[in-house]
């Protein structure tokens, strides 16, 4: 593939996707985006740890720098150049730092654009506790969730028009004339699409994950009591998919009690659903009952941030965007420009995002090593400011924390 301003490395091999499976060489070429703000701090720190982990398991990552955000604008005059999208398409797996998204006006979210253009339809965010991290919970070790958030539809589809625009006024008039629906003329208008196709492929991925990782349940989280034909349909389509494609592996919560008296049979995954607002209190009050969660986009955005707060905050929350044979791995936190370049912020989220990438590559041993080394570092009291202000210890900067993780990793 020809590129305008970047050149792939001559060393390394491409990751391939054949017959529905990734074929990963021992020396894959992996593009990375430093991103904006603190991306300049946390991404280099993460690369240091990932290189050490790869070497530990006999692998080598050949990094390929690509550009998005402010760096891309300086180089291309474009915040998201085709070079970047084409590199991800060609090499299939990429690591990225946070990108700045303006509130209100300005350009649309680059993160959302990358997900939609590349059809990375599942935002997958594992949430688990690292010993030594501050938590508001009495028993944070009970938190072990994986959130599957639909990435392409719902309000994040970006179908909206401002108050007073021709489009908004035309739609308001159409709804009144054709359906008798009255909407105030000074309203902004947004449309919330949720399709059977997108719902089922997300739930399919969530159930496949549960099967492959020995998880006990998949919970469909929705607001179907109010939005019956969008979020209510998400729930119904999720159950339908489980019944039709995974009948030998799954039972419903009703079946669990009617047929098995509440005792989950070996090898079966329970499919259940919860109303979104109720789910917020359930993950706090009945944490251990939840495992894999699947939900539409907006619910997933709120839920994953709330869950991250339960185990120490966004500074340690990894994330990924997964499509068919393609993945872009990014932390949950934003770009925090006021801290950029200060060697201050916590790189744990970016490091654990790399661990999640290792898992996706099939390098599970390396992934577990990274997570263990991070936990050892935090437990030892070597921490960045965000954790130090809660628990004290040995206060270090971004680079120093990453170096400590590498030392602990090498001792494993």
Annotated binding site: 100, 109, 111, 115, 125, 149, 301, 333-339, 346, 385, 389
Collect all residues with Cβ–Cβ distance below 8 Å to 219 and sequence separation of at least 6.
271, 272, 273, 274, 279, 290, 291, 292, 293, 294
Question: What is the DSSP code (8-state) at residue 188?
Answer: -
- Return d(Cα 331, Cα 285) in angstroms, integer: 26
- Return d(Cα 27, Cα 34) in angstroms, integer: 21
- CB of 231 within 8 A of CB of 222? yes
- Return d(Cα 233, Cα 389) in angstroms, integer: 45
Q: Which residues are annotated as a binding site for D-threo-isocitrate?
A: 109, 111, 115, 125, 149
Annotated active-site residue 138? The verdict is: no
Is the four-CA dihedral 33, 36, 40, 42 of positive or negative sign? negative
Give me the catalytic one of 36, 154, 273, 301: 301
Annotated active-site residue 291? The verdict is: no
Task: For the sheet with 269-275, list strands across it.
Answer: 62-65, 29-33, 93-96, 326-329, 320-323, 122-128, 144-150, 292-295, 217-222, 269-275, 250-252
Would you report the helix, strand and coil content of the chain in percent, each value rounded to 5?
45, 15, 35
Annotated active-site residue 360? The verdict is: no
- The helix (H) or strand (E) run that includes residue 17 is strand 16-18
Q: Which residues are annotated as a binding site for NADP(+)?
A: 100, 333-339, 346, 385, 389
Give me the catalytic one of 223, 236, 273, 403: 223
Give me the catalytic one of 121, 128, 156, 290: 156
Q: Which residues are annotated as a binding site for Mg(2+)?
A: 301
Give me the catalytic one of 40, 277, 302, 372: 277
Q: How many residues does the chain have?
A: 412
Return the active site residues. Answer: 156, 223, 277, 301
């Amino acid at each position: 593939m020809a590129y305008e301003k970047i050149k792939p490395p001559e060393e390394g091999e491409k990751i391939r996707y054949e017959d529905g499976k990734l074929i990963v060489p021992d020396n894959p070429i992996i593009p990375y985006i430093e991103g904006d703000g603190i991306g300049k701090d946390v991404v280099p720190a993460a690369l240091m740890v990932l290189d050490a982990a790869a070497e530990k398991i006999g692998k080598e990552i050949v990094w390929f720098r690509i550009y998005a955000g402010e760096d891309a604008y300086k180089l291309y005059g474009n915040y998201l150049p085709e070079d970047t999208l084409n590199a991800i398409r060609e090499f299939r797996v990429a690591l990225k730092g946070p990108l700045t998204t303006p509130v209100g006006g300005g350009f649309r979210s680059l993160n959302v654009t990358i997900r939609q253009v590349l059809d990375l339809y599942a935002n997958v965010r594992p949430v688990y506790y690292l010993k030594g991290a501050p938590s508001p919970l009495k028993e944070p070790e009970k938190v072990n969730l994986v959130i599957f958030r639909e990435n392409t539809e719902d309000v994040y589809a970006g179908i909206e028009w401002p108050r007073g625009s021709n489009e908004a006024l035309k739609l308001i008039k159409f709804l009144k004339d054709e359906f008798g629906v009255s909407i105030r003329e000074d309203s902004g208008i947004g449309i919330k699409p949720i399709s059977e196709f997108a719902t089922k492929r997300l739930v399919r991925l969530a159930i496949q994950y549960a099967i492959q990782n020995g998880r006990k349940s998949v919970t469909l989280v929705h607001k179907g009591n109010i939005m019956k034909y969008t979020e209510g349909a998400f729930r119904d389509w999720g159950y339908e998919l489980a019944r039709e494609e995974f009948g030998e592996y799954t039972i419903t919560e009703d079946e669990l009690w009617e047929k098995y008296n509440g005792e989950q049979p070996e090898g079966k995954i329970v499919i259940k659903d919860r109303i979104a607002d109720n789910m917020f209190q359930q993950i706090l009050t009945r944490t251990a009952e939840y495992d894999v969660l699947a939900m539409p986009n907006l619910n997933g955005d709120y839920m994953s941030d709330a869950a991250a707060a339960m185990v120490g905050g966004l500074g340690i929350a990894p994330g990924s965007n997964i499509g068919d044979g393609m993945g872009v791995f990014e932390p949950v936190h934003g770009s925090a420009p006021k801290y950029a370049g200060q060697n201050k912020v916590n790189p744990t989220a970016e490091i654990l995002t790399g661990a999640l990438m290792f898992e996706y590559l099939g390098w599970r041993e390396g992934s577990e090593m990274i997570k263990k080394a991070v936990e050892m570092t935090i437990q030892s009291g070597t921490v960045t400011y965000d954790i130090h202000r809660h628990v004290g210890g040995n206060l270090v900067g971004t680079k120093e924390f990453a170096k400590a993780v590498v030392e602990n990793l090498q001792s494993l």
